[in-house]
Structures are given as structure tokens and as C-alpha cells.
């Protein structure tokens, strides 16, 4: 090529590349680059006590799936700024490499501050909404499905306290306790408006409405609902019934779960002995009643013996955990006739200094789920709390870990993925595997 022609072609081309690079590194958190292609995925449904892949629009051609997954609650917040989105991409890619198929994360951040999604009732930051768009697109790219939690019971990221505070600031006469989140009409309307905004959102990157997005596994109504007194139990039950029906009125394609921890209430006295202590029956939630609501598609359970039984020894915690998981699987199988998903479980890295002690509690959950899956019972899967990548230490708690920094735990997680996968293969499932498959 003649030098003159080369310069005419090469220099403008390099200029375009330089300009694009400058835009990306300086404004990538503000710009939306459309996604031109996404992998095909099907929606997840339920068939009695099992999760199934719904392979046509009429709900037919089901194939069962079992879930090995994880929690990374921080994905949306880390996707706000372009400079930290690589952390999110790495977490989803590494999850797929471990054979994990479902990630549970927060789809809420209420209040003020730079990372808030909802700054006042029905008012949203588009920049943060685009961060959630990014999480969903990246999950689908890695063939990971998301459980998106819609509000926190705790004060972190605003939670139900923020909703009650907004009502007070608007001059609404609410009660002195945060339990009014579950009962006051104004506060409930705030939450319904939030649900509508999320479910009707059109992804700025893919153009797909959230209600039409197969990379979303399920909507979770609230993370770990608790009441200040057991007298609010009927109010919580009514709230779950109302909100689950409202979600279904907007979105018939996705599953809905509550987000409860699995405690048995006072009305199920024959099961309350399974609880980690008498205190657990006085929080207003009840695993059987809350999960039996028609529009709740599957039951959620959490498991933290290190927190719930701080003075117990390793044997006591392991025995409790085994019985805890088995009891809920049995109730899912025989009473609820719905899948049971352990949506949070963990082992404290502070309390258990030896890798084998950490692994013991994790292995107990994995083994109980595997035994249930072998028998085609209601134990549908488990999601470890929680996984991190390097450089996100601000989200760490005593149960958090970078899995590949703990070889024995990494191996344990991957082994669970593979043996659940073998059960699926024996059933000739047609489910598309994650991008990276360790099995």
C-alpha cells in the first residue's frame, strides 16, 4: 500500500479507536452500549416439588433442574461505575467456572447516597438502574440465572425502615414500629410502586423487559422478614399474600419466593423443636404458613448454625444443620408440595479457623441436598453465602470468601455442581450448561 493511501486509511482508523477508548475509560459508567446478541435461555418453572426448565411458551416439555448457586449481594452497587464492573464480570464468570447456575443478589438500594437506586418513593437514579441492567446482561452472558431480592428487612441499603421513614416524612401517621411496613396502606403502596418499576423496566443494554428476561430465576419479596413481636404474624402473612399476588399480576413468567429464614412459628408447635432456639418462634414468620401461600412458588430457607448456636460445639452444630435441612425438605415434599431452596447458608471463617471445620458445615448442607436430589425429593438446591472476588473487601462479612483462595472449599463447591449435574444427565435434561463447565 502506498504511504499516502496508508495514511489516509490508518490515521482516521486509529483516531476512531483512540476516541472510543477515551469514551470507554472516562464515561463507560454513563454510556449504554447495546448488546447485539445474547445466549438463548428458557424460563424456570415448577412441577410439584421440582424446578423445571419450561421449554416452550405453553409450559410444556419440562426437564428438571437442581440448583447449586451462590450469593453476591453487591453486584448492582459494583456495576454503577465502569471502573469496577470488571469485578462483577469476574464473579459471574468464576461462578460459571465452578458449575454454579444461580446467583442471588440485591435489586434494591433505598435512601440517599451515591449508590441508592430509589431515592424517594417512586423516584429512581437511572445510573443505578443501568447498573442492574448490566448485572442481568452479564449473568445471561455466562448462563447464570438471578434471584433478585426486592427489599431488605434489615436497615442495610435502606430496608423497610426507609419505607416507614418516607411515610413519616410525608406526614403519614404510621405506628412507632417498623412492623407498619407490612400493614400501613401508604407504605404498602410505596412498595408496590417499586415492584412495578422493577418488573416493567426495559433493560437499557438488551432492550428486554425484566418481566420477559429468562436470566431472572425468581423474585424474592423481602430478605429475611422478621417482626418485632409475634402478634404481627397475621399481618406478615397477609402482606406476603398481597404482594405475591401483585407480582404475579405484573409478571406471570417468573417464580416468586418470600425470602424467609425457615423458622417455625408458634402455631406449628410440633415442629418448633427443630428451631435453633425458642427465640426463633417469636419473630412473626412461619415456614409452613408463609410458604403455603398459593402465589409462592418455592420455599426459602437460611442456615447459620455458627450465628444461631454460638456456644454449641462442632458436633452440635452439624447435627442441628442436618436435621434443619431434612425437616424443611420433608415439609416441602409432604406438606407444601413445593421445591425447597436453601437460599443462604454459611460457615463462619472467624469462628472456624481450620479449613476442615468450615468445610464440615458446608458439606452437611450439600450432602443433604444431594441425597434429596437422588431420591427426586423436594430439596431443590442450595446457595452459599457469600462469594467475593479480589478487590471487594468492603462487602465482606464473617461468612464471605474468595472461593479460589480456599482450595478445599472450591473443590467442595465444584464437586456439588458436578454430582448434581450427573443426576440431571441421568434424567436426560435438555438444559443448556453454563459457559464454563467444570464437569
Residue 390 is a catalytic residue: no
Judge residue 73's burial from the number of C-beta atoms within 10 Å of its C-beta, 0-12 exposed, 13-18 middle, 19 or more buried.
buried
Nearest Cα to 195, choosing from 260, 239, 139, 138? 239
> What are phi and psi for residue 142, nearest 5 degrees?
-95, 10
Looking at the DSSP bridge assignments, the partners of residue 68 are 382
CB 298 within 8 A of CB 331: no
Q: Give the rounded distance of the alpha carbon of 426 from its chain centre.
A: 28
Asked if 343 and 300 count as a contact pair (C-beta separation under 8 A), the reply is yes
Q: For residue 270, give the nearest of 327, 312, 317 by alpha carbon.
A: 327
Residue whose C-alpha is closest to residue 43's, from 297, 244, 242: 297
344 given a catalytic annotation: yes
Catalytic-labelled residue, pool 224, 261, 333, 431: 224
Of 322, 256, 313, give the one whose Cα is nearest residue 290: 256
Which ranges of 70-211 would DSSP assign to H, the alpha helix? 75-78, 85-97, 126-141, 159-169, 185-199
Give me the catalytic one of 64, 213, 333, 344: 344
User: Running DSSP on this structure, what letter comes out for residue 252?
Assistant: S
Helices 159-169 & 185-199 angle (0-180, nearest 10): 120
Can you tell me the distance from the alpha carbon of 262 to that of 334, in angstroms, rounded to the nearest whole number? Answer: 16
Which are the catalytic amino acids? 224, 344
Amino acid at each position: 500500500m502506498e504511504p499516502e493511501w496508508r495514511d489516509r486509511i490508518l490515521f482516521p482508523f486509529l483516531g476512531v479507536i483512540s476516541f472510543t477508548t477515551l469514551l470507554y475509560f472516562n464515561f463507560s459508567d454513563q454510556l449504554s452500549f447495546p448488546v447485539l446478541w445474547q445466549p438463548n435461555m428458557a424460563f424456570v418453572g415448577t412441577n410439584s416439588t421440582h424446578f423445571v426448565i419450561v421449554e416452550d411458551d405453553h409450559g410444556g416439555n419440562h426437564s428438571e433442574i437442581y440448583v447449586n448457586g451462590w450469593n453476591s449481594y453487591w453486584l448492582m452497587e459494583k456495576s454503577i461505575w465502569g471502573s469496577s464492573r470488571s469485578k462483577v464480570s469476574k464473579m459471574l464468570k468464576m461462578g460459571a467456572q465452578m458449575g454454579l447456575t444461580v446467583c442471588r443478589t440485591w435489586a434494591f438500594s433505598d435512601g440517599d447516597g451515591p449508590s441508592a437506586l430509589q431515592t424517594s418513593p417512586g423516584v429512581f437514579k437511572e445510573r443505578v438502574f443501568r447498573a442492574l441492567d448490566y448485572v442481568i446482561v452479564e449473568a445471561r452472558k455466562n448462563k447464570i440465572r438471578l434471584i433478585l431480592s426486592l427489599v431488605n428487612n434489615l436497615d442495610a441499603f435502606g430496608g423497610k425502615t426507609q419505607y416507614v421513614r418516607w411515610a413519616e416524612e410525608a406526614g403519614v401517621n404510621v405506628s412507632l414500629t417498623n412492623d407498619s411496613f407490612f400493614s400501613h396502606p401508604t407504605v404498602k403502596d410505596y412498595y408496590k410502586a417499586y415492584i412495578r418499576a422493577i418488573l416493567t423496566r426495559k433493560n437499557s443494554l438488551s432492550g428486554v423487559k425484566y418481566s420477559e428476561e429468562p436470566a431472572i430465576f425468581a423474585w424474592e419479596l423481602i430478605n429475611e422478614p422478621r417482626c418485632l413481636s409475634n402478634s404481627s404474624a397475621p399481618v406478615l402473612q397477609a402482606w406476603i399474600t398481597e404482594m405475591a399476588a401483585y407480582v404475579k399480576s405484573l409478571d406471570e413468567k417468573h417464580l416468586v419466593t418470600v425470602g424467609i429464614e425457615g423458622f417455625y412459628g408458634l402455631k406449628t408447635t410440633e415442629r418448633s423443636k427443630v428451631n435453633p432456639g425458642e427465640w426463633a418462634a417469636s419473630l412473626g414468620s412461619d415456614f409452613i404458613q408463609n410458604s403455603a401461600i398459593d402465589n409462592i412458588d418455592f420455599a426459602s430457607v437460611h442456615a447459620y448454625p455458627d450465628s444461631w448456636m454460638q456456644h454449641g460445639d462442632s458436633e452440635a452444630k452439624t447435627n442441628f444443620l442436618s436435621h434443619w435441612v431434612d425437616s424443611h425438605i420433608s415439609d416441602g415434599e409432604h406438606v407444601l408440595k413445593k421445591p425447597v431452596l436453601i437460599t443462604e447458608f454459611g460457615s463462619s471463617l472467624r469462628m472456624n479457623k481450620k479449613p476442615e471445620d468450615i468445610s464440615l458445615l458446608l458439606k452437611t448442607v450439600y450432602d443433604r441436598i444431594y441425597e434429596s436430589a437422588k431420591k427426586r425429593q423436594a430439596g431443590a438446591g442450595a446457595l452459599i453465602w457469600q462469594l467475593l472476588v479480589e478487590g471487594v473487601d468492603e462487602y465482606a462479612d464473617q461468612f464471605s470468601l474468595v472461593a479460589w483462595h480456599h482450595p478445599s472449599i472450591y473443590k467442595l463447591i465444584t464437586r456439588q455442581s458436578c454430582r448434581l449435574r450427573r443426576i440431571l444427565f441421568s434424567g436426560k435434561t435438555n438444559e443448556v450448561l453454563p459457559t464454563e463447565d467444570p464437569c
